[in-house]
Amino acid sequence: MEMHNVFVHHDVESQRSISPLDKSHFPESHILPSNICTARFGNPKPLGLFAFALTTALLSLINLHSRGVDTPNIVVGLGLAYGGLAQFVAGILELVCDGDTFAGVAFTSYGTFWIAYSMTLIPWFGIQNSYAANPSEFQNAMGHFIICISPLSFKLLVLELRLTVGWFIFTALMTIATIRTDLAFFSLFLALSTTFLILAIGFYNGENEGCIKTAGVFGMITSILGWYNGFAIIYRPENSWIRLPNGKFPWGD
């Protein structure tokens, strides 16, 4: 029996195999435009920024022990629904509809971060219970979650941290990709990098209260910058008299 590749169209007249990705052989009306979503969808960036900012603010208030609250389980619902799912969807829209690789990678990554973090607080997954016999192991595990471990090590504030591609490293590298954008956007990622670093140090040092609260302060700064960047997009001439300057760098485009 003769087998044919169903993913290749065979031109009977020319006996040539034509790939379905070869647009030159299809009528122009059958070719989807590269910006197919932009005519039907709004800008998903504010959604991603607001979802990130609000969830970060809530956890930062808990890290600051605001009003005596230091149990983070209230973050679960917001982390799964808004900081997680909504931010992830915003990232997909950025990738598929807007074609913005940076925003797409950032929103989908931090969206899944919040989902993963929320899972550690849900008893059904048994993550914290698995460390019940050794609470200090869970603290170190959370430090790994923020930074992770590799053979590369250095001394930092008397703590030996072993670093690889984790949330702090990922955010620091993403920060480098913002140095040609504007001051507001760069400051957002710089503050987030600092938050992750201090938070990891706190977990590695037995949930050091000073480090955790300091991370809470930087987390609140990060949240404010997230809202600022989001509303800088929302406030347009057609709906508001308010203008939020982003602070262009001299070397930016």
pLDDT per residue as tens digits for the range 26-84: 444 444 455 555 456 789 999 999 999 999 999 899 889 888 888 888 889 999 999 99
pLDDT per residue as tens digits for the range 194-231: 988 888 788 777 778 888 899 899 999 999 999 999 99
In this prediction, residue 155 carries a pLDDT of: 34
In this prediction, residue 5 carries a pLDDT of: 46
Q: At 239, which amino acid appears? A: N
- Render 69-90 in DSSP notation, one character per residue: ---GGGHHHHHHIIIIIIHHHH
* Residue 37, number of CB atoms within 10 A of its CB: 14
In this prediction, residue 179 carries a pLDDT of: 92
Assess whether pLDDT exceeds 60 at residue 190: yes
In this prediction, residue 200 carries a pLDDT of: 77
* Buried-state track 211-249, b at ≥16 Cβ within 10 A, e below 16: bbebbbbbbbbbbbbbbbbbbbebeeeeeeeeebebeee
In this prediction, residue 107 carries a pLDDT of: 96
Tell me the CA distances in angstroms from 217 to 52, 62, 106, 252, one per residue in order. Answer: 16, 11, 22, 29
pLDDT per residue as tens digits for the range 126-181: 776 777 777 666 666 666 666 643 333 333 333 333 333 367 888 888 999 999 99
Q: Which residue has the higher pLDDT, 76 or 9?
A: 76
- What confidence category does residue 121 fall into, taking pLDDT thresholds of 50, 70 and 90? confident
Assess whether pLDDT exceeds 50 at residue 18: no
- Phi/psi at 228 (nearest 5 deg)? -60, -50
> Beta strand 16-18 with 9-11: parallel, antiparallel or unpaired?
antiparallel
- Please tell me the least confidently modeled range out of 27-31, 50-54, 97-101, 189-193: 27-31
